[in-house]
Amino acid sequence: MNLKKILTQIFVLAIFLIVGCNLSAQQQKVIPEINYEFGGGAGHYNYAPSAIQDEYGIRYVFVCQNKDPFKIIDYIYLFKGIPTKKGYIWQPGTEIMGPSSTG
């Protein structure tokens, strides 16, 4: 199984975990709320978020992001969100994977 397919499956699973699998008879309206931006500021990009939530409600979000401003080379970063009574507290991203020395 290739990495892209695995990341896609993780993303789909994450959506179900974040939104919830409430199969009640009433339809619920989902209103998105932005609490944290994973971007690194000017010259940085990120895409392909994949999220996992553990049994304690801690969210682990993996994103592709460039390390150096305006330099288009992908790295994978992990952002960790800790649940609190006022919402999630997000830790800064940690680089967990980068390109090989040969590209």
At residue 14, the pLDDT reads 61
CB of 98 within 8 A of CB of 83? no
Domain of residue 87 covers 3-22+43-97
Average pLDDT on 21-39 reads: 62
Distance in Å from the first CA to the final CA of the chain: 21
Name the β-bridge partners of 75: 65
In a domain, 53, yes or no: yes
Alpha-carbon distance 81 to 92, whole Å?
9
29: pLDDT strictly greater than 60: yes
Summarize pLDDT for 40-76 with one digit per residue, the tens.
678 888 899 999 999 999 999 999 999 999 999 999 9
Task: Decide if 70 is inside a domain.
Answer: yes
Residue 67 in domain = yes
Q: Are strands 74-84 and 87-90 parallel, antiparallel or unpaired?
A: antiparallel
Confidence (pLDDT) at 97: 94
In a domain, 32, yes or no: no
Q: Is residue 31 part of a domain?
A: no
Domain count within the chain: 1
DSSP letters spanning 2-63: -HHHHHHHHHHHHHHHHH-----SS--------------STT--EEEEEEEE-TTS-EEEEE
Give the pLDDT confidence of 76-99 residue by residue, as tens digits: 999 999 999 988 999 988 999 999
